[in-house]
Amino acid sequence: MSRFLLIPALAVASAAKAEVSYAYEIRPILSDKCFACHGPDGGKREADLRLDTAEGATASAIVPGDPGKSEAWQRILSQDPEELMPPPSSHLSLTNAEKALIKRWIEEGAKYQPHWSFQPLPESVAVPQPQDAAWGTQTLDRFVLARLEQEQLKPSPAADPLRWLRRASLDLTGLPPTTEEITNFQGAAATDFPAAKAAAVERLLASPRFGEHFAVPWLDAARYADSYGYQSDQLTAFWPWRDWVLRSLNENLPIDRFISWQVAGDLLPDATREQKLATTFNRLHRLTNEGGSVAQEFLVENMADRVHTFGSVFLALTMECTRCHDHKYDPIGMRDYYSLGAFFNSIPERGFYTSQGIQPSPGLLLPNAEQESAMAAAKERISAASAAVEARRAASDPELDAWLAGAPVAPLGVDLVSHQTFDDGVVKLDGDSGVPLPGVLAHDRCDPFSVDLVIRDTVANPEPVILLHRSFGTDVGYNGLELFLAGGRLEARVVRDWPGNALGVRSEPVVTKDQWVRITWTYDGSSNTNGIKLYVDGKPVPVEITADEIYKSIATPSHGDGTATIGQRFRDRGFAGGEVDEIRVFKRELGSLEVAALQDPAAWQAALADPVAHRAELREAWLRSSDTAFREALEKLRLERSALIAAEEKVFEIPVMKETPHPVPAHVLARGAYDAPRSKENEIGRDVFSQILIPFPEDAPRDRLGLAKWLVDPRHPLTSRVFVNRVWANFFGSGIVETTDNFGLQGSLPSHPELLDWLARDFISGGWDLKKLCRSIVLSSTYGQDSRMRSDLARRDPANRLLARATSRRLSSEQIRDLALASSDLLQQQDGGPPVSPYQPGGDLWRESNSMSPAYHQSKGADLYRRSLYSVWKRTAPLPNMLAFDSPTREVCTIRRPQTNTPLQALVLLNDEQFVEAARALAMKVSSLPPERRFAEAFIAATSRPPTDKEAALLDALHREQLELFKATPEEAKKILAIGEGPAPPDLDPVEAAALTVVCQAILNLDASVWSR
């Protein structure tokens, strides 16, 4: 049986032709009218009746083959409101046609089938052989024509060459053809139209503009923006990922790699910088830096956003509701949601961003060639300086022996920069006030230091309390040095952005409540956890590593003045109930013997008494405190490390994915709440859907790389179907499945199921080749039809689901602005780079809507006229002229943009500064032509065709009317010519120029300009 969506006008006739299909006819009815109460969601299921499975339905409600004995059918027919199904309280009802289908289905045996999109993708799809063998240039045309013949319809005639060229140019590059391209195509088409089309398609596919156009829906789906969103919505810089998308599309990176790299490029063997950069896809979600935010809440939110985006982008499944309960319509449970989320929760992230100056970790440095060379040179100099340090250590025996012969005292005064004792013996801390240490520890991660504290903890708080810090920031993130105490455990950190760009070590419980203890923290400036040591009462304590990668500076000013403080930090948990007796700070790393001597001076004398046994410790103390050559070598090493930090600071950084050493435990969270109880009982492992799709590959690792392999497995029912359906929608305005964002039970049925399957299988077999797919669509006879509405189709298929004609549709917001710039020759083509800030109406809308926002700074010069793809995208205040034409805010993943038609759109086209300036530039472009050619050339530039006689007459009348108006009000003419940054030529006749500008405004506002037909 042929599977297809029933067009309403044809439903009755078609339904009589074949056995009723559960997947295509019955399930949609049950999903709409029954599954909310009798579907997959066990938590909301009523009467213990499940109608979404054969087992559940036939247990009590349906007797296959016998409607009379089927309780469900009797309830459907009931006149008793207490018995009727659906119940009147649901405000749902079945039509007579739906009842007839259900009855026939029961009579035919009530056969259940899997949902169409969950069924395996066929290894091959039979290509139909329509009666009209002469029509069609591509294999896909046979599927379309066979369906039309089945419905006794004929395809539309081919579109004229210029209409096809404009359509193809807009659909492949987002830009209209230039006048030169139109002229050349007309000449070639007159000789050989098919060859001219083929040549045009190759030119368009090879253009860098192809990637720019196809990137836009991907950026919507990936929720790409240039700001973080939420409260202050500070700006960020994700644009290198956007440029990676452009490069990948233009280079025709196979889509299975395009997908896999974004999911798990960092986990590929010997992953390249490009593959790691691709994973920024998973980091484009909103982030907050609002004070008082709860880290655990936003870690859950980040995970949830990744799951929602993964489900929407790659699977076209609505995952959001399964965060709190089993899906009401699709066979997806809460456990599926959290097991999928377990793939995305194990990265070293904090959940917030700290400031504009520090990118959220984990991150990736993206140096240019010059910066790469500078960093490599700095690392070579560090290696040389390290070798010099070791060489001096190896050659130091004679001087060491001479020093030991002099019975030296412990060098505990060398490089001591602060030593505080207190008049009253101790300082008692309340957690809100600390002991400031001005002028000390103003260090970067290249600087060695030692801190020695004598403290008593009278509370033993199990939560981390700040013992010591020298840092900048707030509770959403600090950068600098910090020492914590939690439940007797010490944790020392060297931090730029915790935990993905930091060093950290943590001890076992070593601090006992109510006991005085000496804590010493030393650091050698190596940017390595091996260089961090903790001592208690003069003895080293074993530690575990909590963070082990750091780059760039840890002394980036943000909030606060960076004064080192004991026991308190802004918006942090202070050392309440703590007592401090003594503080020492050194500007060098102390050796283990020196630390022991701080606790017990006799340790030094004991070492001197047996210098052979303690030679290594004595050597380190002498080298670091007294040997000039060694200290000079250490200083040289410190300076070279500082130079590397300075080189890194110049390098662009972007957030990416990176796995933690061990998976973070994942749990099924009751009601989706971040603070829901977590235990072994609700802990869950990484897995894919338990009831649908294909199983997780047995030979794949249980991580995102394994998930990516599962996703692009050629057997996967959804990935290729979803992708080719969205590509199809780019060319026809609607997918074969109209709900491009939902292939679940509540989504639309495919209009041409076999065609979708053939396209998906051919796409996989052809190497996931996007340009090949685009080529086959654009060169097809289906795509090449005229778009005019026929009287027979207006009644039978007004939405063009049968594809008996091409589709007319309004251009996207980006295309409309870009068309105005391109047709007026204002468009400045520059590939990639940071976002630009075009005209914005009124004052500073960013600051007007949010006083915490940075100010809007309009670009100057050529940057005003870049493609809209490159315009700055602020989540809480997108550009108004983009919103007017239905652009999303990109706060969350968006697959389908709505298409509205409102008076506001005409207001934008006629009044927005960008469009007025474009109209003036278009007028200037044609003003040097003979008067009789000006309107026609302007019209062709915007619409890609000459005006009809009627259109030309209307434009001429408008021009004459405007001439008279501006002659009477010449000051108004000057005003319209002054709009925009680009200067008007000084030798213009302002009245003529203004009149011609208004004509061009009208042209740019026409449906012929802003629609593709």
Instruction: Look at residue 15 in the predicted model and tell me its pLDDT.
Output: 40
Average pLDDT (475-488) is 97
Q: Minimum mean pLDDT among 490-504, 847-861, 937-951: which range?
A: 847-861
In the chain, what percentage of residues exceed pLDDT 90? 88
pLDDT tens by residue, 81-138:
888 999 999 899 999 999 999 999 998 999 988 899 999 999 999 999 999 989 999 9
Mean pLDDT of all residues in 607-611? 96
b/e burial code for range 437-453 (CB count within 10 A of at least 16 → b): beebbebbbbbbbbbbb
pLDDT, averaged across the chain:
94
Q: Is the pLDDT of residue 965 over 50?
A: yes
Q: What is the pLDDT of residues 452-474, one digit of tens each?
A: 999 999 999 999 999 999 999 99
Nearest to 750 by CA among 10, 24, 32, 148: 24
pLDDT at residue 4 above 60?
no
Burial 503-518 (b: 16+ CB within 10 A, else e): bbbbbeebbeeeeebb
Give the pLDDT score at 479: 97
Distances (CA, A) of 256 to 218, 260, 766, 969, 1012: 15, 6, 11, 62, 31
pLDDT tens, position by position, 133-156: 899 999 999 999 999 999 999 999
234-256 confidence digits (pLDDT tens): 999 999 999 999 999 999 999 99
In this prediction, residue 42 carries a pLDDT of: 79
CB 502 within 8 A of CB 493: yes
- Is pLDDT above 90 for 729? yes
- How high is the pLDDT of residue 988? 86
Question: Residue 322: its pLDDT value, please?
Answer: 95
What is the mean pLDDT of the segment spanning 800-827? 97
Distance CA 634, CA 447 (A): 10
Task: Please report the pLDDT score of residue 524 as a whole number.
Answer: 98
Q: Is the pLDDT of residue 424 over 90?
A: no
Residue 157: pLDDT above 80? Answer: yes
Is it the case that residue 834 has pLDDT exceeding 80? yes
Of 723, 908, 740, give the one whose Cα is nearest residue 813.
908
pLDDT surpassing 90 at residue 422: no
Mean pLDDT value of segment 775-795: 96
Closest CA to 109 of 67, 146, 164, 46: 67
Query: Please, are residues 782 and 141 in contact by the beta-carbon 8 Å criterion?
Result: yes
User: Which of 57-66, 593-602, 767-776, 883-892 has the weakest average pLDDT?
Assistant: 57-66
Does the pLDDT value for residue 436 go beyond 50? yes
Q: What is the mean pLDDT of residues 747-771?
A: 97
What one-character-per-residue DSSP string does 299-354 give?
HHHHHHHHHHHHIIIII----GGGGTS--SSSS--HHHHHHHHTTTS-SS--SB--
Q: Give the pLDDT of residue 35.
A: 87
pLDDT score for 43: 79
**Model confidence over 9-44: pLDDT tens digits?**
344 334 445 789 888 889 889 988 888 899 888 777
Residue 958, classed as helix, strand or coil, is helix
> pLDDT grade, residue 644 (50/70/90)?
very high
Are 507 and 542 a contacting pair, CB within 8 Å? yes
Q: In what order do the strands lie in the sheet with 564-566?
A: 435-437, 564-566, 465-474, 477-486, 489-497, 501-507, 543-549
Q: Which pLDDT does position 435 carry in this prediction?
A: 95
Each residue's pLDDT tens digit, 576-590: 999 999 999 999 999
Task: State percent of the chain over pLDDT 70.
Answer: 98
- Determine the pLDDT at residue 1: 36
* Type of residue found at 427: V
Q: pLDDT tens digit string along 663-683?
A: 999 999 999 999 999 999 999
User: For residue 5, what pLDDT is reported?
Assistant: 52
Strands 489-497, 683-684: pairing is unpaired
pTM of the complete model beyond 0.85: yes
pLDDT tens per residue, range 353-399? 998 889 999 999 999 999 999 999 999 999 999 999 999 999 999 99
Q: Please say if the pLDDT value at position 8 is more than 70.
A: no
CA nearest 664: which of 360, 305, 338?
338
